[in-house]
Amino acid sequence: DTVSAGQALLSVAEAGAEAGSGGGSADGAAASASADGEVGGDAESSGANLIGYGTSEPKARSTKKRSFGGKHAAVPDAISTVTPGAAPAVPTVIPDAPLQPPTETQTPIDDSSKTAIGESATAAGNQVSPVASPLVRKLAKDHGISAKHLPGTGPGGVVTRADVLAAVESGTGMNRAGATAHVPAGTSPAGEPQSTAERSATSAGAPAPVGRADRDTRTPITGLRKVVSERLTRSRQEIPEATIWLDVDATELLNTKRALEARTGEKYSLLSLVARFVVAGLKKYPIINSSIDTAAGEIVTHGDINLGLAAQTPRGLMVPVVHGAGEMSLRQLRDSVSETVGKAGTGKFDPAELSDGTFTLNNYGVFGVDGSAPIINLPEVAMLGLGRIKDRPWVVDGQLTVRKVMYLSFVFDHRACDGQEPSEFLTFVADCIENPISLLPEL
């Protein structure tokens, strides 16, 4: 075909203008591109294209990127909103260097507060400090304090445990952890007054304010309480103790007690009978009747048996001592034990009655418990605990029956002996309880 001079061969239209000649093919290209999902159907991105030319830049699609343990962390939605004409969002880079103190242009934010960005929790005028430790955040939350609003004294302005405790002491920073606004008491977040019922519902489940500590009562640790506290603490810290247990059938012990009382017409307590078995066991295994001289680095095995009886008195825990128990008959030991137990009701003992014990017997069964791991009474090396006597199933001569059963717990100092002597001592006492006649050869 012949083209006349001056005839237009190509028409280029600006973006947004109506398409001239050739616009039909351009619309088809735009529709095809839109169908492929490459370009949106926006009027600004439609129109003819020529190599090296083109209409306005197509809008970039924003796609949320997830970070899996890398240094590039996705920016939360609250601060990643892109305004028209703004530069593309750049991932926030977490530097390897330590956190720096907050400045006017940079505000370090801990993980727990990311979701609160852009909300009323970061209202103007509130200082936000980094909190590195989850334990510090939990401590602050337990006391109803927002840790991120406390002034940090740690490296880089990090809030530390000491900062939280200081805030608790002073009563500052008492906004609830995780709150989204600082709302005066008695008002709703919108500023409207709240009713009493609403305030009760709002405070339900919230940590108790520190001010409620005024209801607590403080008792000075003095006198006997202080002595007991210091001695038991020292015992627990100093002694490498071990505890062994044994359950015994006390049916024959009860039968022996009744037979003895019927024959003599006198009363015998179970504690006095067990004390007699213990004295015989200490004579058989003298290492149990010892103490540790830490200054000299020696084990002192005592020639006398001074039997301590742990007793709960109105003044507190006391251990009066039956001196010379190893030289007493059963009747004498019974009388001494009875007298000592009687004084426990008042808690009035002479200092001499509370000293020089070599072994302690602890009858915690009177409190209705089965067992315990008692703390050794320094400077002794062992203690025997007696549990309550209770009907329990027991096998006798291959037959299941109900018997009177009690538990024995024995704690000893591993510095004085290994496990053999304590085990043999406990087994000896258990045999005497189950069959009191077995003690006759030891008398």
> How far apart, in whole angstroms, are the C-alpha atoms of residue 140 and residue 148?
9
Q: Kindly name the residue from 142, 397, 418, 431 that is annotated as catalytic.
A: 418
Q: Which two tokens stand for residue 107?
A: 């505000």
Q: Kindly name the residue from 96, 350, 414, 431 that is annotated as catalytic.
A: 414
Q: Does the annotation mark 414 as catalytic?
A: yes
> How far apart, in whole angstroms, are the C-alpha atoms of residue 406 and residue 176?
52
The residue to which tokens 């510095």 are assigned:
415
Instruction: Please answer whether residues 250 and 434 qualify as being in contact, where contact means their C-beta atoms are separated by less than 8 angstroms.
Output: yes
User: For every residue of 44-70, which 3-state class applies, written as one string?
Assistant: HHCCCCCCCCCCCCCCCCCCCCCCCCC
Number of Cβ atoms within 10 Å of the Cβ of 33: 17
Q: Does the annotation mark 182 as catalytic?
A: no
**Pick from 185, 201, 203, 205: which is nearest to 193 by CA?**
185
- Give the residue numbers annotated as catalytic, written as ranges: 414, 418
